Structure 1
Amino acid sequence: MCKHLEKLAQEIRKGAASVDGVDPKLWQVSQDAPKDLLSKLSAPPKSDAPLITPSDLAEADEFVFGFPTRFSMMAGQF
């Protein structure tokens, strides 16, 4: 997860947590690029946020999605 996107997600989660009865969670999508390529690109280390699964999506009431972009396109994992 990009550091600036992760910071934004943490702030959104903090705001949602200020609402009574809301238990917001932060997930990330798995990286599908090979590790050697990520190393050559000097990609930042992975976040500590857990990877999301289809069952996580099924259990959630609402979603807020954030996408790092390349040339105005969302990441390939999506």
Structure 2
Amino acid sequence: MGLQSLLALDIPIWTAITQFAHHGMLFVPIGYTFGAGIFKMDSIRGGSSYGAGVFASDGTREASETELALKEHRGKYMAAVVKRLSLA
């Protein structure tokens, strides 16, 4: 993955984070809590330490098992953080 591809993933995320903060919303990155799956390089995949993603292009490619697992992890991680905040 070249620098241009990496920037294409990060720029929309950073733009969204500033909008979230402007409206008082919370952004919870998953960091490296997904374990070794976040570093898998055996196939093209979306997602990063900021959150889940899928390389879909023109719709001819289905989400991989790793992308789906990362998406599920992202949802569970966010739910756990919200639960902890609601108990505080």
TM-score band, normalised by shorter chain: 0.3 to 0.5
TM-score after normalising by structure 1: 0.40
Choose between structure 1 and 2 for higher RCO, CA contacts under 8 A separated by at least 6 residues.
Answer: 1
TM-score after normalising by structure 2: 0.37
More helix by share: 2
